Amino acid sequence: MGNIQLQGVTKSFGETTVIPSIDLEIADGEFVVFVGPSGCGKSTLLRLIAGLEDISGGKIVIDGKDASDSPPAKRGLAMVFQSYALYPHMSVYKNIAFPLKMANIESATIDKKVRDAARVLNLTDYLERRPGQLSGGQRQRVAIGRAIVREPAAFLFDEPLSNLDAALRVGMRLEISELHQRLKTTMIYVTHDQVEAMTMADKIVVLNKGNIAQVGTPLELYHHPRNLFVAGFIGSPK
Ligand code: ADP
Ligand code: MG
């Protein structure tokens, strides 16, 4: 579970082609970072995978099944939104439980899943608080908790730390990496920050104007950038 293949995926908005054609395979359990400058198509690509946008052409295959036309809820993926997407009037417990309640899961099962997620995320002592009574990092963990309880085949993150201050960002970066090591679930993480990419990724996908400039491990990209664009973004030119 958690294998995602993009086969000739394209995306246009009206006359404007944002993704000319992308082929990419994400292996089960991999931590993949999409990195590139603002406007290069990172969010669009993630939203296509999530099913929040329709592809204009090509195919998206998730765990061997053509999911190109599947609605988001059928893809088994969980998008982690920025922490401000929490419900301010609900407790942490209810925020995390929300997707399970929507799915009509019985409350004893919900309770176990919420408490398990809270334990993993060090939120056990904060379950009765409201988001407004938490730090930025704790709020981001609640947003992750809401994804964890759904036990997705993959987590999709779109610049989840961009609202946090620099010190907190470093801490959360480590927490998300630890979470990946513990859960061993596929994660796709979008950022324009090359330090996040270099420190978190198993595999980095560098995007430039909707095209893949290069795919590789952090060390491969650092030592062997294919062109000046990649070098300027990640490594040193050779
Ligand atoms: P990134 O996340 O890398 O900053 P985006 O995926 O948000 O980039 O945007 C890529 C390009 O697609 C941009 O030029 C943006 O203006 C365009 N774009 C994104 N969403 C839409 C939309 N709904 N309609 C028209 N153009 C869009
Ligand atoms: Mg974006």
- How far apart are the CA of 40 and the centre of ligand 2, in A? 8
Nearest CA to ligand 1 atom 27: 13
For the CA of 210, the nearest atom of ligand 1 = 10
**39 ligand 1 Cβ < 6 A:** yes
Predicted interface score ipTM higher than 0.95: yes
- The protein residue with its alpha carbon nearest to ligand 1, atom 23, reads 13
* Token reading at 96: 């995390």
Instruction: Determine the atom of ligand 1 nearest the C-alpha atom of 45.
Output: 6
Q: Which residue matches tokens 């993926």?
A: 77
> pLDDT by residue (tens digit) across 18-71?
999 999 999 999 999 999 999 999 999 999 999 999 999 999 999 999 999 999
Q: Hey, which residues does 186 pair with through a beta bridge? A: 154
Alpha carbon distance 22, 52 (integer Å): 17
Among protein residues, the one with the nearest Cα to ligand 1's atom 20 is 44
pLDDT of residue 164: 84
Yes or no: say if 48 and 55 are a contact pair by the CB < 8 Å rule: yes
Q: Is 206 in the pocket of ligand 1 (CB under 6 A)?
A: no
pLDDT reported for residue 21? 98
Residues near 153 by beta carbon (within 8 Å), at least 6 away in sequence = 1, 2, 62, 63, 75, 76, 77, 185, 186
Ligand 1 within 6 A of 191 CB? no
Residue 54, classified by CB atoms within 10 Å of its CB into exposed (0-12), middle (13-18) or buried (19+), is exposed
Is a pLDDT exceeding 90 seen at residue 223? yes
Render pLDDT for 158-181 as a digit per residue (tens, 0 to 9): 999 888 888 888 999 999 999 999
Q: How many Cβ atoms sit within 10 Å of the Cβ of residue 216? A: 20
Looking at residue 35, what is its pLDDT? 96
pLDDT confidence of 234, banded at 50, 70, 90? confident
For residue 44 and ligand 1, the question of a CB distance below 6 A is answered with yes
- 237 has pLDDT over 50: no
Atom of ligand 1 nearest to the CA of 158: 2
